[in-house]
A = this chain, B = another copy of it.
Amino acid sequence: MATLPTLPVPDSDLLRLDHQVCFSLHAASRAFGSVYRDALKELGLTYPQYLVMLVLWEHGPEPVKSIGERLRLDSGTLSPLLKRLEAAGLVHRERSPEDERSVTIRLTEAGEALRERALPVPRRIMAATGLTVDELRTLRSLLGRVTGALDEA
């Protein structure tokens, strides 16, 4: 199955492969975004906002810092996004008493309630991918390794 190390891949093929991988990634990410956009429209959430809500639904109140670490987003992205979630009445922010620099994000009742309506979303997306569970696992694993390696560099 594996390419024999003694059969070198031509240089030009490598360049094409790189372009194709990067481009596929870009395209796939946007294709997912588009399907999620449709699925989340009735909830009034964008895809990144949904990711933040997932973190809060799963882990409970969290400081901005750790939401950012989980989602690989910095305050420049999260601050305005959280402001919009707050304006929508889904979360509410409070300065941490023990560290005044830190702001804890907490779900409101409306934010908790939205969880029910969000439950059917992932299944719809899964079905739309057309991949088997095993393939999705392979994909997740490859993507995880790529991201890890790229973050090193």
Contacts and interface: CB of A to CB of B under 8 A. Distances in A.
Interface of A: 1-3, 9, 14-15, 17-32, 34-36, 47, 51, 54, 71-72, 119, 122-123, 125-126, 128-140, 142-153
Contacts of A2: 132, 134
Nearest to A149: B130
27 contacts: A3-B134, A15-B123, A17-B133, A17-B140, A18-B122, A18-B123, A19-B54, A19-B122, A21-B136, A22-B32, A22-B125, A24-B139, A24-B143, A24-B147, A25-B139, A27-B72, A27-B143, A27-B147, A28-B143, A28-B147, A128-B153, A129-B150, A130-B146, A130-B149, A138-B142, A139-B139, A139-B146
Given A34-B150, A135-B142, A138-B142, A25 B29 contact: yes
Contact of A149 (B29, B119, B128, B137): B128
Question: How many chain copies does the complex carry?
Answer: 2
Contacts of A30: 72
Most buried by B among A128, A148, A150: A150
Contacts of A14: 122-123, 126, 133
A23 B70 CA distance: 10
A153 B28 contact: no
A15 B122 contact: yes
Given A15-B123, A123-B15, A32 B25 contact: yes
B32 A150 contact: yes
